[in-house]
Amino acid sequence: MINNNSLTLEHSEEYLEHLAQFIHIPYTELRPYKNEFITRKYNKGQVVYYSSDDMSHMYFLLEGHVLREHFNKNGDVYRILNKDIRLFPLHSLFQEYTTNEMCTTITDCMIISVPIDFMEYLCLNHANVFKRIYQLLCQNEQQQMEYHMALNAKSAKESIIKILIYLCHTIGYDNDEFYEIKSFLTIQMISNLASVSRETTGHIIHELKEDNILMHHSKNWIISKAILKAI
């Protein structure tokens, strides 16, 4: 389901150029099909899609952050946070089925919806696009492994630290000596991701602050790269 609010045409060609660059194809190859793409602005808290049936579109996140939640038949939830310049869900390509997934904005976002059949066409007819999508799938697999290792940690503190490292790699901005994560991140989000109680998560975050591994600056999270050696 696509939210039809805030349809925007302004800067649409500029936005499409970002997508072309991301999937490694000349913009001139996309320009004839520009009417196939829809660029929308979503406000914080809006549902971008909920898939229980076959999906017709993928989504390219131009600006902002989203929370994606996978639901299986047992009611288990697998959560993924994505930041700007991201194409998802990649698992919808070349598949006859779609897993249950809900995507919600956690900040204001600008998103391009991309027809899945068109993306499949590009993969089949442009080797560079196919190679790029394969690279992105491998990257996703590595990140999922990192997340699973965090969930299987031996202690709550180790789990929280590994979740923070995972978040640094997925939604953090690398600033040489430290990573920066925007202010939308909350202790409750970290608690949910790690499957650790909010109270315990709060205590561990406090310990990391006392060890000068983590601090807040203008509400953003500043995480020292010393965290990579904290386990």
3-state helix, strand, coil in the chain (%, to 5): 45, 25, 30
Element (DSSP H or E) covering residue 81: strand 77-82
Report the candidate in 164, 228, 224 with the shortest Cα–Cα distance to residue 194. Answer: 164
Show the low-confidence residues of the chain (pLDDT under 50).
1-8
Quick one: pLDDT at residue 54? 63
Other C-beta atoms closer than 10 Å to the C-beta of 195 total 13
> What does the block give as tokens for 145?
């492994």
pLDDT (tens digit, 9 = 90+) per residue, 23-62?
999 999 998 998 889 999 999 999 999 875 567 899 999 9
